């Protein structure tokens, strides 16, 4: 996995700049330059709407039902799937010179660059273009999706006449059911996405218009509205129309040489499965009125202030690798965009940057994304967990359907119903239930949020613990077993006693006991009694954790180390394996798709000795092929802990450039939000050595030799700290809040008003284990 950086990116510590019109990168730039606030997502398509590969405007939780393919169905199989819908597009502003449309596939592009600015939270564009008949214009635009007004997006679009006077026409559109490329070869998905929106209402007046539609099967209604401010050197002819799937404001004006016409467009969205057309129109009217009253300049100022505050709590700074610095901030910015204003909604695996994975949320959110949000923007983490709590009723019904107690959380979903049509790597991956409990307990420990604990936390931990109590059983030796499950490694399915699953379930049971003791009155409301708590404690204490005494390593699952090893030499050039080999063969061999036991050593590192971590890492590294974007970040964290700092750096690089360098060749369908959050994890938990077991925050920092400095920021129970790491020492500073007890390489200390600097002991170099042939970590040319 060796490549070079994309030639059309410029290195900038606070922005991603794309120069020119890349012949082979348009579809990637649409994802990379996407804007979102967690509620609205706009792909980074050009203002004029064309050229375009995959247009996309998404609303968090807005979906359509579709059929699920089964060769042979069975009891308990989900009856329908869900897929995210491209809703009414409000990004489009077309430009015509006389009757020539601006289209950069024609004429001559003299200059063109687009900048995704991590500090302003906007996408800026500057283009100098000459039409086929020789008319030259300079187009500048700036686009934002508001963090402070979550239902609003805005665009400032300016055109300057260059070289001569000219007649210009601007067309600002709301467009529903715009054509999208066929989504693969699944006819059910194609049918669900072919003109998915049915018109309910269209209205316009002056510079304002609104369209209301609903989906055919899920019957969710969406309203999209637009309003405008127009400024031009002379009077302009303006008219507006709205009907069915299109609303359009047309502005025609004479623009003298050297002067410009400016259009500011405000777009508002509202959606609901329950509210009426008048109610949604009212919501959009209010959003547009608020945006118009605020104005472009104030919206942009609010956006900048929001991000200034965010970076004070979340920035990671490094010295020694400028491209890596840019990539880290790119990653952190996109994770913020995915979760900032979801407000009791999930975070999809691709965020709102594309339709990949049908817009579903997975365990990615709680295991990879929420750690970052919990320690940088805890209010956003709470909203995701509130969504999980709101769907508990569906999870409990799903458990009953499958003959279980408690809550069985769906493997993939948009609205809380299970949408996985392949149960060995879906329903059987029940660890997601404990993953959510783990995120809940982490959030409570990190924030001390008593209101959330009472309203949501107790019930989340209780109902998830009830699943494990009923799903597992005590064997003749008195050990508690959890059989017939799939762990994180999807190349090893439906196994007994997966160590990751058992360890996170064990913690779930213990956390449920602890929260019920803290909140006995709330626990009583959910029917918890002393006997049930005692059973949870017994299940946790006697949890089966398979260990191979002869090899001295933990077994990923029972008997895993006894299976035949995969022939990695024969697999060179055939990755990902799932596209070249049958699952039937993969399931029977020692081959790991993504970190499984290694991830357990991070999330439940308190269950392993330091010696076990080294032996386990050395055993599983040569078996792990990283056919998932979720793997490298986990391997980086544990590699740093066991002393393989160079390998940890390699995996940090692979993680952070997953999307920027399109390592999985699928960025066109959206970004990998969990991998982007994993970059934060690699810095804070990997090189920073941060662990949060049982609510206790500890650090064991060590820095890779090619980096000279790293600092990161965290929020812990309203106290804001910064940790600065060099090769020989780490300095801890309390920026605001109460003093906090921390630990540095096993040494406890109290962080108060004055910085604390503590030494870092150098460790001898140890050669890391090798990877399967052909699956070495990704390296940029600069790394070599």
**Enzyme catalytic residues:** 490
| φ, ψ dihedrals at 86, nearest 5° | -75, 110
CA-to-CA distance for 672 and 655, rounded, in angstroms?
Answer: 10
CA-to-CA distance for 50 and 263, rounded, in angstroms?
Answer: 19
Residue 616: closest CA among 769, 436, 488, 736: 769
Residue 466: closest CA among 536, 401, 403, 392: 536
Cβ atoms of 278 and 197 closer than 8 Å: no
First to last CA, the chain: 12
Going from the C-alpha of 721 to that of each of 370, 388, 728, 731, the distances in angstroms are: 19, 29, 20, 10
- What is the pairing mode between strands 564-565 and 589-590? parallel
Q: What DSSP string runs through 404-469?
A: -SS----SSBSSSS---S-GGGTTT-THHHHHHHHHHHHHHHHH--HHHIIIIIHHHHHHHHHHHH
Going from the C-alpha of 622 to that of each of 124, 494, 553, 619, 626, the distances in angstroms are: 45, 23, 14, 7, 11
Packing angle of the helix pair 378-390, 392-401 (nearest 10 deg): 40
- Return all residues near 305 (Cβ < 8 A) that are at least 6 apart: none
Question: With helix as H, strand as E and coil as C, how does 717-748 read?
Answer: CCEEEEEEECCCEEEEEEEECCCEEEEECCEE
| φ, ψ dihedrals at 55, nearest 5° | -65, 150
Strands in 60-216 per DSSP E? 63-67, 80-84, 93-97, 100-101, 108-117, 122-130, 136-145, 152-162, 166-175, 197-205, 208-215
Cβ atoms of 674 and 368 closer than 8 Å: yes
- What is the pairing mode between strands 122-130 and 208-215? unpaired
- What is the pairing mode between strands 80-84 and 93-97? unpaired
Cβ atoms of 567 and 508 closer than 8 Å: no
- Return all residues near 419 (Cβ < 8 A) that are at least 6 apart: 68, 78, 80, 81, 82, 358, 360, 410, 412, 413
């Amino acid at each position: 996995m060796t490549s070079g950086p994309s030639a059309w990116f410029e290195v900038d510590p606070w922005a991603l700049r794309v120069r020119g019109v890349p012949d082979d990168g348009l579809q990637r730039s649409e994802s990379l330059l996407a804007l979102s606030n967690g509620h609205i997502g706009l792909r980074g398509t050009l203002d004029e709407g064309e050229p375009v590969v995959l247009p996309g405007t998404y609303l968090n939780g807005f979906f359509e039902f579709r059929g699920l393919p089964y060769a042979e169905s069975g009891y308990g199989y989900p009856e329908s799937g869900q897929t995210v819908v491209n809703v009414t597009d409000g990004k489009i502003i077309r430009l015509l010179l006389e009757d020539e449309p601006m289209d950069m596939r024609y004429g001559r592009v003299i200059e063109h660059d687009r900048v995704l600015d991590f500090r302003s939270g906007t996408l800026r564009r500057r283009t100098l273009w000459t039409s086929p008949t020789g008319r030259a214009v300079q187009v500048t635009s700036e686009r934002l999706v508001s963090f402070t007004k979550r239902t609003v997006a805005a665009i400032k679009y300016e055109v300057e006449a260059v070289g001569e006077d000219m007649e210009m026409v601007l067309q600002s559109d709301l467009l529903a059911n715009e054509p999208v490329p066929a989504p693969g070869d699944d006819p059910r998905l194609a049918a669900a996405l072919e003109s998915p929106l049915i018109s309910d209402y269209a209205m316009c007046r002056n510079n304002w218009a609104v369209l209301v539609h609903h989906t055919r099967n899920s019957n969710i209604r969406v309203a999209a509205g637009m309003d405008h401010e127009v400024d031009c050197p002379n009077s302009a002819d303006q008219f507006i129309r709205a009907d069915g799937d299109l609303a359009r404001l047309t502005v025609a004006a004479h623009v003298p040489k050297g002067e410009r016409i400016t259009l500011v467009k405000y777009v508002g969205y509202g959606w609901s499965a329950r509210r009426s057309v008048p109610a949604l129109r009212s919501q959009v009217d209010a959003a547009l009125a608020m945006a118009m009253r605020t104005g472009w300049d104030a919206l942009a100022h609010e956006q900048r202030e929001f991000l200034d505050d965010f970076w004070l709590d979340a920035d990671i700074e490094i010295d020694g690798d400028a491209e890596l610095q840019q990539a880290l901030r790119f990653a952190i910015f996109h994770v913020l965009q995915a979760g900032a204003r979801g407000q009791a909604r999930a975070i999809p695996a691709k965020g709102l940057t594309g339709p990949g994975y049908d817009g579903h949320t997975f365990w990615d959110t709680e295991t990879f994304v929420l750690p970052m949000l919990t320690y940088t923007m805890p209010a956003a983490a709470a909203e995701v967990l509130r969504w999980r709590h709101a769907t508990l009723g569906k999870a409990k019904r799903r458990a009953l359907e499958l003959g279980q107690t408690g809550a069985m959380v769906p493997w993939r979903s948009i609205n809380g119903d299970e949408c996985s049509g392949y149960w060995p790597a879906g329903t059987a991956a029940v660890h997601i239930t404990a993953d959510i409990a783990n995120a809940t307990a982490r959030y409570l420990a990190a924030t001390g949020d008593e209101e959330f604990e009472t309203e949501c936390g107790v019930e989340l931990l209780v109902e998830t613990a009830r699943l494990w109590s009923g799903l597992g059983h005590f064997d003749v030796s008195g050990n508690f077993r959890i059989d017939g499950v799939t762990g994180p490694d999807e190349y090893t399915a439906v196994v007994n006693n997966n160590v990751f699953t058992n360890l996170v379930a064990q913690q779930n049971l213990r956390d449920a006991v602890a929260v019920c003791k803290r909140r006995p009155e709330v626990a009583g409301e959910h029917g918890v009694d002393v006997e049930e708590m005692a059973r949870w404690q017994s299940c946790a204490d006697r949890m089966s954790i398979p260990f191979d005494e002869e090899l001295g390593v933990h077994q990923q699952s029972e008997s895993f180390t006894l299976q035949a090893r995969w022939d990695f030499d024969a697999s060179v050039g055939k990755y990902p394996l799932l596209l070249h080999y049958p699952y039937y063969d993969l399931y029977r061999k020692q081959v790991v798709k993504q970190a499984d036991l290694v991830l357990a050593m991070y999330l439940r590192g308190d269950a392993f000795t330091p010696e076990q971590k080294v032996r386990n890492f050395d055993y599983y590294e040569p078996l792990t092929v990283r056919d998932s974007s979720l793997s490298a970040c986990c391997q980086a964290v544990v590699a740093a802990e066991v002393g393989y700092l160079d390998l940890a750096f390699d995996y940090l690089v692979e993680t952070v450039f997953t999307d920027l360098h399109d390592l999985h060749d699928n960025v066109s369908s959206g970004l990998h939000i969990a991998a982007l959050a994993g970059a934060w994890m690699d810095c804070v938990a990997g090189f920073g050595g941060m662990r949060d077991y049982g609510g206790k925050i500890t650090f064991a920092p060590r820095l890779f030799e090619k980096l000279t400095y790293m600092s990161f920021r965290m929020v812990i129970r309203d106290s804001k700290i910064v940790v600065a790491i060099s090769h020989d020492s780490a300095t801890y500073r309390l920026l605001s809040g109460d003093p906090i007890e921390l630990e540095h390489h096993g040494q406890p200390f109290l962080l108060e008003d004055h910085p604390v600097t503590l030494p870092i002991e150098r460790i001898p170099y140890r050669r890391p284990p090798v990877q399967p042939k052909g699956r070495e970590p990704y390296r940029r040319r600069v790394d070599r």
